[in-house]
Amino acid sequence: MKTKEHYSDFLVIGSGIAGLSFAIKAAKFGTVNILTKKKDFESNTNYAQGGIASVFSPEDSFDNHIKDTLQAGAGLCQRRIVEILVKEGPDRIKELIDWGMKFTLSKNENKQKSLDLGKEGAHSHHRILHSSDSTGKKIETTLLDKVKKISSINLYENHTAIDLLTEHQLKKKTRKINCFGAYALNNITSSVQTFKAKIILLATGGVGQVYLHTSNPTIATGDGIAMAYRAGAFIKDMEFIQFHPTTLYNSKTNQAPFLISETVRGEGGILLNQKGERFMEKVHPLKDLAPRDIVARAIDYELKKTGENYVWLDISFKEKSFLKKRFPQIYQHCLAEGLDLTKEPLPVVPAAHYLCGGIDSDLNGQTSIKNLYVAGESACTGAHGANRLASNSLLEAVVFANRAFLNSSAKIKKECNLPEIPYWSKKGTFDLKEWILIQHNIEEIKRLMWNYVGIVRSDLRLGKAYKRILFLAEEIHNYYQKSTLSPKIIELRNLATVAKLIIKSAITRKDSIGLHYNFDHPETSLKKANVILKSGQKPKLVRYKE
């Protein structure tokens, strides 16, 4: 039986802010197919509460935003990339507004309306544009509404990408790898389909589900990164996992953590230990608004020191009317959990939140594979360095998706003869016992990463984790070869791959910097080094020259 083939000029894998904004623009130059493995709105963008950082205040400047980003990145940011991010940001946000995005407004002293700009950790000025506390959801809705009105865009929901189409499928050996599309599983019919295109954009989000506790949705299984790695792309800085300091603590282990936005601390919220004492004052000059890596480690230290399960986040001293208006989503969710943030502090714990590394890309979103672009959390542009500045993620996604569009649209005009791709032929048999083992493997990876490759690391833990993940990865590969395809087995395969990459990168870095804290290695002079991995190669340190 032949595999069903789909053809388009552009193929976008992922439906967050990066993928959708790219698709809207690309549709002016050709046909666009979008693959998303769940419903259209399910993405990391949809879960972004805080906002999008950019310079709109007359008191602020590009230099200030650049400086804040570089300082948060602990010296590992690529300055040229940061300058692009900051200086092109306002135009991209104006574009979102033109497309229908409505950010929260406030009145100034002259009673004129202007953008309400919030402030978050490590920002020197108010520059966070937001829509109450559900900015990501509003952006996602705005972009989807626009996408659905464009006839040249086809949105394929419930389609899980399996692997990229490259010379590997053609059994060719070549120095320069080309990408021609992707194999994808139709989750409803269980059939594998071929999606061929001249230009491919990976915008599949992060890797949060590789950890036991994460603020990410269930789709964040590192699919794009794993596929790109298997295809031979360079992967960079995977050791830099940002743990959000404040997710709502819940004793129910089967319930996903709920994010308490950093803007709560930006509006004056303070962190307290179980004795009701402020502890960030002794840790950093910015106190509760210190960079996320520092706050997360401080909380982790408090929890390990006392044996408690959470610390407190208190903003109850603010006016009730202000809190309900500024944080409606958080207020309602907490009420449903029996907590009233206007009257009492909230119990909070850190959780895996954002990947600063990913698929190595240039300033136009181009990967090391020809015709394969990447944007959003899947990409490692060099903008975040060793630690992302709060609310720079949505900005990076929209800025570099635009640059990927500009670069790739110039290529789309050229003639491109796509090769004949072999039909999908892998067969397997489903076995219930095997399925139980697959689920156990997912849980084991999550616990392994949380216990051994978390906020604070050591050589001993990393060594044990690496030995275990190598065994698991081989076992999972065997499951994958034997099983009939399903979204879960595809995700498990990808989780094992990204877990291995994170551990390998963490072992390779021989210093503590930013989000990677290994108490066996204090901070050293290797602050300009980035860990780059390629499939089939040993990890190495590549030093960037000034």
322 Cβ partners below 8 Å, 6+ apart?
Answer: none
> Six-digit token pair at 232?
């031979």
Q: Cα(495)–Cα(445) distance, rounded to whole angstroms?
A: 8
The 3-state secondary structure of 323-352, one letter per residue: HHHHCHHHHHHHHHCCCCCCCCCEEEEEEE
Cβ distance 116 to 104 under 8 Å? Answer: yes
Give the domain-ending residue among 365, 384, 412: 412
Question: Quick one: average pLDDT of 334-349?
Answer: 94
pLDDT of residue 430: 55
Cβ distance 311 to 303 under 8 Å? Answer: yes
pLDDT at 540 over 90: no
pLDDT of residue 542: 37
Cβ distance 109 to 30 under 8 Å? Answer: no
Same domain, 302 and 250: yes
Q: Tell me whether residue 66 is in a domain.
A: yes
Cβ distance 278 to 272 under 8 Å? Answer: yes
Instruction: Quote the pTM value.
Output: 0.88
> Six-digit token pair at 459?
């050589």
SS3 522: coil
- By DSSP bridging, strand 270-272 and strand 159-166 are unpaired
Q: Tell me whether residue 374 is in a domain.
A: yes
Q: Tell me whether residue 460 is in a domain.
A: yes
Q: Which of 273, 242, 274, 276 is nearest to 259 (CA)?
A: 242
Residue-wise pLDDT tens digits, 360-404: 999 999 999 999 999 999 999 999 999 999 899 999 999 999 999
Residues belonging to the chain: 546
pLDDT of residue 44: 52
How many other CB atoms are there within 10 angstroms of residue 343's CB atom? 8
DSSP line for 283-334: T-TTGGGS-HHHHHHHHHHHHHHH--S-EEEE-TTS-HHHHHHH-HHHHHHH
Res. 212 pLDDT band, cuts 50 70 90:
confident
Residue type, 216: N
Q: Cα(8)–Cα(33) distance, rounded to whole angstroms?
A: 6
Domain that holds residue 485: 432-523
Question: Quick one: average pLDDT of 71-96?
Answer: 96
pLDDT of residue 134: 77
Res. 544 pLDDT band, cuts 50 70 90:
very low
Cα atoms found within 13 Å of the Cα of residue 17, Cβ hemisphere only: 29
Res. 119 pLDDT band, cuts 50 70 90:
confident
Same domain, 348 and 363: no
pLDDT of residue 38: 82
Same domain, 517 and 448: yes
pLDDT of residue 545: 26
pLDDT at 137 over 90: no
Q: What are phi and psi of 354, to 5 degrees?
A: -150, 140
Q: Give the H/E segment covering residue 359.
A: strand 358-360
Cα atoms found within 13 Å of the Cα of residue 311, Cβ hemisphere only: 30
> Six-digit token pair at 274?
């179980």
Question: Quick one: average pLDDT of 207-223?
Answer: 92
SS3 518: strand
pLDDT at 463 over 90: yes
Computed over its alpha carbons, how large is the radius of gyration of the chain? 22
Same domain, 374 and 337: no
Burial class (CB in 10 A: 0-12, 13-18, 19+), 540: exposed
pLDDT > 90: percent of the chain: 68
Alpha-carbon distances, residue 101 vs 146, 266, 297, 330 (angstroms): 11, 23, 35, 21
Helices 17-26 + 135-147 axis angle, to 10: 30
Residue-wise pLDDT tens digits, 404-424: 999 999 888 776 677 777 777
Same domain, 337 and 360: no
Same domain, 345 and 402: no
Residue type, 198: K
Res. 171 pLDDT band, cuts 50 70 90:
low
SS3 124: coil
Q: Which of 397, 373, 366 is nearest to 96 (CA)?
A: 397
**CATH number where 37 lies:** 3.50.50.60
pLDDT at 309 over 60: yes
Q: Tell me whether residue 545 is in a domain.
A: no
Q: Which of 58, 46, 26, 118 is nearest to 394 (CA)?
A: 46
pLDDT at 48 over 60: no
Question: Quick one: average pLDDT of 219-231?
Answer: 96
pLDDT > 70: percent of the chain: 87
Cβ distance 4 to 185 under 8 Å? Answer: no
**CATH number where 437 lies:** 1.20.58.100
Cα atoms found within 13 Å of the Cα of residue 462, Cβ hemisphere only: 23
DSSP line for 150-215: -TTEEEE-SEEEEEEEETTTTT---SS-BEEEEEEEETTT--EEEEEEEEEEE-----GGGSSSBS
Q: Cα(22)–Cα(265) distance, rounded to whole angstroms?
A: 33
Cα atoms found within 13 Å of the Cα of residue 225, Cβ hemisphere only: 35
Res. 541 pLDDT band, cuts 50 70 90:
very low
Q: Tell me whether residue 535 is in a domain.
A: no
Q: What are phi and psi of 185, to 5 degrees?
A: -95, 125
Q: Cα(465)–Cα(469) distance, rounded to whole angstroms?
A: 6
440 Cβ partners below 8 Å, 6+ apart?
Answer: none
Same domain, 24 and 92: yes
pLDDT of residue 293: 81
Q: Tell me whether residue 531 is in a domain.
A: no
Q: Tell me whether residue 185 is in a domain.
A: yes
pLDDT at 527 over 70: no
pLDDT of residue 432: 53
Q: Where are the alpha helices (DSSP H) in 28-161?
A: 62-72, 79-98, 135-147
Q: Tell me whether residue 544 is in a domain.
A: no
**CATH number where 260 lies:** 3.90.700.10
Residue-wise pLDDT tens digits, 272-300: 999 999 999 999 999 998 888 889 999 98
Same domain, 336 and 363: no
Same domain, 235 and 253: no
pLDDT of residue 246: 93
Tokens 């310079």 -> residue? 55
Active-site residue, selected from the candidate residues 92, 127, 292, 297: 292
Same domain, 300 and 361: no
* Number of domains composing the chain: 3
For the question of residue 92 being annotated catalytic, the response is no
Q: Which of 492, 10, 536, 527 is nearest to 237 (CA)?
A: 527
Q: Which of 203, 188, 194, 189 is nearest to 162 (CA)?
A: 194
Burial class (CB in 10 A: 0-12, 13-18, 19+), 172: exposed
Dihedral in degrees, nearest 10, Cα atoms 154, 159, 160, 161: -40
pLDDT of residue 251: 67
Same domain, 28 and 143: yes
Same domain, 387 and 340: no
pLDDT of residue 106: 84
Cα atoms found within 13 Å of the Cα of residue 486, Cβ hemisphere only: 15
Residue-wise pLDDT tens digits, 479-507: 888 888 889 999 999 999 999 999 999 99
